[in-house]
């Protein structure tokens, strides 16, 4: 009896560590757009672990938005992304408490429609990043997302030009990241049409391209009383530059 309880417990632990999730809802200025609406939906909730794979752009099958609708949003809008392990909003941790790591948001402008943008090349600007929120309690951005029903939000810089964009939110789970491949990238891309706006032309990076397997933010043991965490952005070859948030463009 004791043995079977123990094995049940270890099974449950393994299940929670292996639990995965997807982006399922886009919110625009507090309005839920509906499940999987305006989103490029991957075939399953598995993470991407190869930082050189084209799946790192917008998840598996995410290079085309054909058949995906595009949300019209005003410049300066606050958008939120909501993630879940399965197609349900209750009954489990939204993204599973065992998943610890940073939460980031990138944006890429489409020359024409968001649906036709494949996201390749240096087209992405990071507009949000949250990592190790509180070193003393080892609270991560993922803990905040779990406590917030699977949601995190960002303000789209009002200075970005009007037009169509891909918004790419990324949650990097680092619970098994001490060797590579290990870091788990959960990626969701939303299609938006920004009205209004300004004329900012911010620095851009490529995804894949910005992350390297040897990055200290990608191959990292987070269970060693980590005191700080930085997810690097490369703006030039061989050079690191971390932007300051909120981003002023
Ligand atoms: C994008 O928004 C602009 C401004 O509201 C609108 O004129 C245009 O028709 C929209 N484009 C699409 C494809 O929805
Ligand atoms: Cu998982």
The mean per-residue pLDDT over the stretch 60-64 comes to 97
Confidence check: pLDDT of 216 > 70? yes
- Give the integer Cα–Cα distance in Å for 23 and 48: 14
Ligand 1 nearest-atom number relative to CA 70: 14
Residue 152 phi, psi dihedral angles, 5° rounding: -145, 150
- Distance in Å, CA 19 to ligand 2 centroid: 4
Report pLDDT digits (tens) over 101-159. Answer: 999 999 999 999 999 999 999 999 988 889 999 999 999 999 999 999 999 999 999 99
Higher pLDDT, 108 or 200: 108
pLDDT at 233: 55
**pLDDT value at position 230?**
85
Tell me what the mean pLDDT of segment 38-50 comes to.
98
Residue found under tokens 């300004």: 198
Please tell me the pTM assigned to this model.
0.89
Distance from C-alpha of 8 to C-alpha of 4, rounded to nearest angstrom: 6
168 φ/ψ angles, rounded to the nearest 5 degrees: -120, 110
d(CA 36, CA 212): 30
Name which residue sits closest to atom 5 of ligand 1, judged by CA. Answer: 195
SS3 of residue 14 by DSSP = helix
Q: Which residue has the higher pLDDT, 245 or 111?
A: 111
Q: 114 CB contacts (<8 Å, ≥6 apart)?
A: 65, 70, 164, 165, 166, 191, 192, 193
Q: Which atom of ligand 1 is nearest to the CA of 163?
A: 1
What are the Cα distances from residue 14, in Å, to 18, 109, 154, 224?
6, 40, 32, 21
The per-residue pLDDT for 202 is: 86
List, in sequence order, the alpha helices (H) in the chain: 2-18, 55-58, 141-147
Pick the more confident residue, 237 or 169. Answer: 169
Question: What is the percent of the chain with per-residue pLDDT over 90, rounded to a whole number?
Answer: 77
Atom of ligand 1 nearest to the CA of 113: 13
User: 28-238 domain in CATH 2.70.50.70?
Assistant: yes
Task: Judge if the beta carbon of residue 69 lies within 6 A of ligand 1.
Answer: no
Q: Is the CB of 18 under 6 A from ligand 1?
A: no
Residue in this structure with the two tokens 């990592």, named with its chain if needed: 131
Q: Which ligand is nearest to the CA of 185?
A: 2
Residue 224 scores a pLDDT above 90 = yes
C-beta 153 within 6 A of ligand 1: no
Choice between 27 and 235, residue whose per-residue pLDDT is larger: 27
Measure 122 CA to ligand 1 centroid, in angstroms: 25
Distance from the alpha carbon of residue 72 to the mean position of ligand 1, in angstroms: 7
> What pLDDT sits at residue 10?
44
Q: If pLDDT is split at 50, 70 and 90, which confidence band does 231 have?
A: confident
Q: Indicate whether 18 pLDDT > 70.
A: no
What's the rounded Cα separation, in Å, for the pair 168 and 57?
8
Q: In a 10 Å sphere around its CB, with 0-12 CB exposed, 13-18 middle and 19+ buried, how is residue 138 labelled?
A: middle
Q: Whose CA is nearest to atom 3 of ligand 1?
A: 195
> Are the C-beta atoms of residues 102 and 175 closer than 8 Å to each other?
no
Q: Out of 15-29, 104-118, 156-170, pick the least confident.
A: 15-29
**What number does the ligand 1 atom closest to the CA of 193 have?**
1
Nearest ligand 1 atom to the CA of 195 is 4
Looking at the chain, the whole-number percentage of residues with pLDDT higher than 70 is 86
Give the model's pLDDT for residue 2. Answer: 46
Residue 116, ligand 1, Cβ within 6 A: no
Q: How close is the Cα of 85 to the center of ligand 2, in Å?
A: 8
| Dist. CA 193 → ligand 2 center (Å) | 31
Mean pLDDT of 6-14: 44
Q: Give residue 232's pLDDT.
A: 63
195 lines ligand 1 (CB under 6 A): yes
* pLDDT reading at 13 higher than 50: no
The pLDDT mean for the chain works out to 88
The answer, yes or no, to whether residue 205 has pLDDT greater than 50, is yes
- For ligand 1, mutation pick of 72, 156, 160, 166 (most atoms within 8 Å of CB): 72
């Amino acid at each position: 009896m004791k043995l079977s309880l123990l094995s049940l417990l270890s099974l449950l632990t393994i299940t929670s560590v292996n639990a995965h999730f997807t982006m399922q809802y886009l919110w625009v200025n507090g309005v839920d757009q509906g499940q999987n609406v305006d989103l490029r939906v991957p075939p399953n909730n598995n993470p991407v672990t190869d930082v050189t794979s084209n799946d790192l752009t917008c998840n598996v099958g995410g290079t085309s938005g054909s058949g995906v609708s595009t949300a019209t949003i005003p410049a300066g809008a606050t958008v939120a992304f909501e993630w879940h392990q399965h197609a349900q909003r209750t009954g489990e941790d939204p993204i599973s408490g065992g998943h610890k790591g940073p939460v980031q948001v990138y944006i890429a402008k489409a020359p024409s429609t968001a649906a036709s943008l494949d996201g390749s090349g240096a087209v992405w600007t990071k507009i949000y990043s949250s990592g190790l929120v509180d070193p003393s309690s080892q609270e991560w951005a993922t803990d905040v997302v779990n406590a917030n029903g699977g949601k995190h939000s960002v303000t789209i810089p009002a200075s970005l030009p009007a037009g169509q964009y891909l918004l790419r939110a990324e949650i990097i789970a680092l619970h098994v990241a001490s060797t590579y491949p290990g870091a788990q990238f959960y990626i969701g891309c939303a299609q938006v049409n920004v009205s209004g706006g300004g004329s900012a032309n911010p620095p851009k990076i490529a995804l894949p391209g910005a992350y390297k397997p040897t990055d200290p933010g990608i191959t990292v043991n987070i269970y060693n009383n980590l005191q700080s965490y930085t997810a690097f952005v490369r703006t030039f070859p061989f050079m690191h530059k971390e932007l300051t948030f909120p981003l002023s463009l």
